[in-house]
Structures are given as structure tokens and as C-alpha cells.
Structure 1
Amino acid sequence: MKREDIEKKLDTAVSGMIPEDMFKRISENIVSEDTERMKKGMKKFSKGFVGVAAAACVLLAVGVVGVPYYGNNYVPDSHVDIDVNPGVEIVTNKKNKVLEVQSTNQDGASVIDGMNLKNTELKVAVNALIGSMVQKGYITSDNTGILVTVRNNNEDKANQVKAEVLDDINVALSTNDIKARVMNQTAKNSVDVDKFAKENSISIGKAVFVLNLAAKDSSLDAKELAKMKVSDIANLVVQKGIDIRDIVDYDSDDSIWENIADAIEDIDEDARENAVSTSAAINSAKNISIEDAKQIAFAHAKIAQSGVTFIKAKLDTEDGRQVYDIEFYSGNTEYDYEIDAISGEIVSSDMDIENYTIPDQTAAQPNNTAGDIGIEKAKEIAMSHAGVSPGSVSFVKAKLDTEDGVKVYDIEFHSSNVEYDYEINSATGAIVSFDQDIENYAIPTQPAAPTQAASSGISVDKAKQIALSHAGVSGASFTKVELDTDDGVRVYEIEFKVGNVEYEYEINASSGAIISSSSEVDD
């Protein structure tokens, strides 16, 4: 067994044996026996000595095993400040478990209200706090700036924790469909900065920022800056025309705000008020490589790379999430994967068995084979059923596919702002399934569809209200609102997020009745 495994097992065992007030109780026992010995005098010396010696032995034993346990689990190690205008501070132990979460101002108190994050993992606390800030309207996509400061006297540990926190914030923002500027710095504890932060009810990180900016321009009052949001301070820099190139990396092609966001206050390490070392400002996520993504797809498909012909392999963005879009053939099977560019998680996968082989061979997809209606006939059947003319249609997909062992033509097309999706039996021409989605982006000259009530039914806004009321929330970030047809019934498909909870609803477009609902807490 490795040394670190042994230490971990000992640590776990000791944690179950030693009560949290062990050190206090031992100390009290020693004092009480010492006092007793003083009162009873030398006649009781031997008895008192035995008591003290026993307590000392216990203390020695606890010191050998318990002190490292205590130091690792109960002594503050890192301080993480997250500042928007609500300011919150997370205090962690050496294992990055949360010891305490506290607010640095009144808005921060509302963010953590009702939360008990003690003993949770740091990333859990970060996700919960960002979710709360989004839910309460403190973080929006409207040029919000987030300043992250990690304080630890060990510079390597500070940088390690900072990298993890930035990744966690990035994930939380993506989960809540929010785009914001995340700025960061590391700092060592400073008496002057700490005092200023406490006096002005702000985080240490924001204190470092405003003190340096006030030192740059004597007309600025650090205390007044402390009351402002980070994004408002950036606007003030623009209005006053302050040259910030000596405290931030500056790109003349970008706006002042972008420059501040790109390298937040490259703070002077020699400043009297603090001893701060800064890092690059905007967090760039460490993506897996495209080759890694390919290998993940091969492993899942259980095929060797040598037998593969690639159609596409590129980095893409889906719903604010970076993914690798991987498409390839192996034999006569087409594989389509979307793989998370950061975690390597398979977001989606699809496998289609084609009745033709690799595209560079002569055996191309047949237009019409024995017992096959042909792809053009399948298109006609779909357009006729949809009631649209060929001149008004833009085809997205038309191919021969296999569903549950039955060959079907998979036909997708747009007409106006409606997307149609058909599966048509290739032998009989029967419509196996069809779907119709009214998109909210197709016709720019019209209001974002769907805005009107479904024929003599409820409006999309009414459907949203029904969903929010049922969920017991007043506001949300909507990720999907579509008018769809399910088993011949027109329904609104509604998806939204509140904090780290995702809700999904299907609502009858005629009556407003809730057909189905579900909620899921994101990790």
C-alpha cells in the first residue's frame, strides 16, 4: 500500500475517533488536575502526577496523529473572494473543503441566505454561489464583470486553487446560459488591504483593485470606488480617459472595458498597500485535443482508427458549450459524435447504417432500387403532407436510414420559419413519423416566433407563465421555447433554468394543461 493511501486511511480512521472538541477537553482536564494538585498539596502529589502524566500521554498520542488531522481539516488555508457587487468569501482547508462562506457586504448576505455550504467541496460552493447570483439578478449577460481573488501564502497553491475556481465558474456560467467577463488575481495576505476591505465591506480582491486605481489617479477616491460595481468602474475609466496601460495589458484594438477584462489590473508588486502577484485575466479553458476527442469516439464505437474515413472533425459551440463535432464512416456505418471539449464527456452520439458504402466508392446511394420508392418520391410525400410547394422549401437532410431494422427516408427541410422532420418507409411510402417545429430565428423581419397564440389557443407567454407558476419561481433563463406537434396534439415545449435546477415542460397549446413536467439538479 502506498504511503499516501496509508495516510488517507489513518486520517479517515482518526476523524471517526476524535471528537471536534478533543483538544479543548484535554486542555481542560490538564488544567483541572493541575489546580486540584495545587489545592491538595504535596500529599496528593503522586496521584496528581499520574493524572497529568496520563493526560500528557493522551495529548502526545493525539499530537502524533490528531494534530496533522486537525491542521488539514480545521485550519483555514485558502481564501477565495468572488466579487460582482455582491461580495462573498469562501474559506477552505488544505483539502479544499469549505470551512466557512461569508458575505463582505449586504448584497452578499442575500446571495448566501439560506445556504449551508460548510464541509462541501469548493466546486460545489462556487456553483451554488454563482447560481444564486444569477437567480437574484446580480449576474447577467449585460457586460457583467466578475473579479476572482485567491489568497494563500503558498503561491503555487494559490494558483492551483484559482485555476480550479475559474473552471468551476466557467461551468456554472455555461450551465446558467450566461456570458460574463471573469477576471482574476492571486494575492498574499496584507494588513493594510485587509483593513481597507473590512472598513468598506468589500472583498480583499476588490480592495487591491480600487487602491491601485486610486493611486493611479489622485482625483479618484478609493472609498467611493469600493461602492461601485467592477463594470461601473470600467465605465468610469472610459469617461475620465485614464491611461491604464501601465497597470493592465493594453490592446488598442479593444475597448477600455475589454482591456480591463483581458488583464485585470496587472497590479504593481511594489505597491505599499499590498503584495500582490497578478496573472492573465481572462480564463481560457484547457480543452482536450481533437485527437483525444477522436479516440473517445472510437472507443465508444468500438472500432479501430485504421478502418475509419472522416467526414468532419471540428471544434464547435452548442448552446454556449464548446464541443468537438466528429463524423466518420466505418464500413457502411456513419457515426456522429458531439464531445465536450473540456471534460471529454460524450454529449450526443448517433449511428446510421447506410445501404451504401464509403462516399469515395462507386456504389453511391441508389435513387431507386427494387422495392424502394426513391428519395425524390419520399420528398414529394413529405411536402404534400406538410402542404408546402417545392419552391418554398430548403432541404436540410434527405437520406436513406435504418430505424429498428426498417429502411426509412429521413427527410428534414425548412419552409418559411417552420422546420419539418419526416421518416418515410422506403418500401411503402408510409409516413412513419413526422415533427414540425416553429423556430424563433428564421424570419428576422417578424417578431421572434412563436409569439402568437397557437390557432385559437394560448400564447407562448401564457405557456411560460403556466410553467413558472407550476415550478414556483418568478423568473428564469429560458433555453428552449418551441411550438411542436406530439401525437397529433400541438404543445409548447419549454425548458428553463433557475440557479442549478433545470426544468422541462410540455403544455397543451389549446387548453394550457400541463402534459408533462420534470426538474433536474445539475451537478
Structure 2
Amino acid sequence: MRKKWIFIGAAFALAMTLTGCRDNAAASIPQQSSQEQTQMIPMEEAQEAALKAADIVAADADISATTLSEVAGVACYKVEFTSGEYAYAYTINAETGAVMEMSSQEQNAQASGTQTETADPAAPAPAQNATGTGTVDEAAAQKIALEHAGVKAADATITKSKLDYEDGRQVYDIEWYAGGAKYDYEIATDTGEIISSAYEEKTMGADSKNVTVSEADAKKTALDRVSGATDKDLYEWKLDYDDGRPEYEGKIIYGGTEYEFTIDAATGSVMEWDAEKVR
């Protein structure tokens, strides 16, 4: 009987010893920090993303600084560079490579502190009127809108150009027709920023029930119009019919701008295009 108790006691002591070893071993394994678990893109990739968003080739840019920081709890790179007459600052998500913020500034205006900021990398550089006050006059606003749309002034019939307000901000509301399409733009008077832009094809495509344009080709047509956007930036997509004509309808959200569009599924042409800043 005494031998049996000795055996049970020894077994219990051994079990406790093994349990303690497992606990100690687990405690000795270092836990990875959240930063170590997060995979960040290389600094060079962030620089490439900033230059691509600005539509500037590396040979034409002088990168002055690239720093790693944090914005709203998200790790990001701030890439600063100059090209031509402008200085740029881009904030790039350090995990995804997406553009979070950007700003551009005329180098000869740095002393005065004049700066233009926009979340849309495709927006044109700010324009000034002849008085040099830093505001945009009507002619300059029309020029910004036409150049963004890729329409020559001689080919456009402007039907509306007036001062208006959008969310308490003064803008020029400009509408015109060109090539059978209607364009509608809002340009901020203080910076020349494009607040919204819309495009509608007035001459419709082939009245056919046959879908001859693939979904992949239609998506490429839409994404090619938004520099830097990829499939992951498509938030809505569907095939629909309008009076028997097939068309793709979709939405892209990228760089602080929401784009809604309609593409003729029989011809591949963009029938409607609307872009608006999101806050």
C-alpha cells in the first residue's frame, strides 16, 4: 500500500513539473508586435506610387524627402518632390500603396504660403488670373474644364458659365456641348480645383440587344480614365438594358473622388461619366 502511494505521488509531481515547463516555455516565446505583423511596402515603391499619381516620370522629378509616419492610425509614407515649377507632397498608405492625400504648390509662391490641396491626383495645377491674386477668373475656369475634358475651345459650344455655390464654396458652373456630348463642370474660384465633372453622350450607340463588348474590356475602359485606379477600386458593376440597348453601369471610388459611368455594351463607348469629390 505504501508503494502505491509513493507511485501516485511521484506521478503527480512529474505532471506538475511538465505543466510548469510548458508554461515557462510559452512565456519565453516573444510575441510579435502589431508593427512586425504588418507588411509594409518598400520606400521606393511609395515613391513610385506618388510619381505615378502625379503623372510625372522619375527622370523629371527631384525627390527631396521620404518619411514614414502615421495618419489616423494608418502607417504611411510622406513623399516630397519637385518637378518643373511645382513642389508636391504625397501621403502613401504604407501597407497598400494607395494615395491618401496630396498637395501641390507653385515654388515661386512658397514665400507667400499659397498652397493648393486636393485628394484627386488627376486634378490640374492651380491657375491664376491676370491680377495674380491667387483666384481663378471665368476664362481660366473654362480653360481648366476644357483641358481636363480634352476638348478644344474651338470645338465647344458653351451654354452656361456662371458663379454659383457648392457646399458653401464659390464655384464656376460651366456647361458645354462638343462632339455630340454634354459636359458639366464645377471649378473652385479660389484654387481652380475641379469640384465635380459630368459627361453624357447625346448621340447614342447602336440599338442592339447583343453584348459585343466583354465585361473585362468595359472595366478597362473605365479604369483607364482614372489614373492609378485598379479593379479593387470598382464598387459597383452591373449589366443593364435601356430601351433594348445593353450597357454596363459602374462606380469607381479613388483618390477622394467618386466616378459613376455608363458604357455601351454594344460599342464600348462611354455614354455617361460623372465625377464628384467625396468628403
Same fold (TM over 0.5): no
- Greater RCO, 1 or 2 (C-alpha within 8 Å, sep 6+): 2
Q: Which has the larger radius of gyration?
A: 1
TM-score by length of 2: 0.32
Of Structure 1 and Structure 2, the greater strand share is in 2
Normalised TM-score (structure 1): 0.18
More helix by share: 1
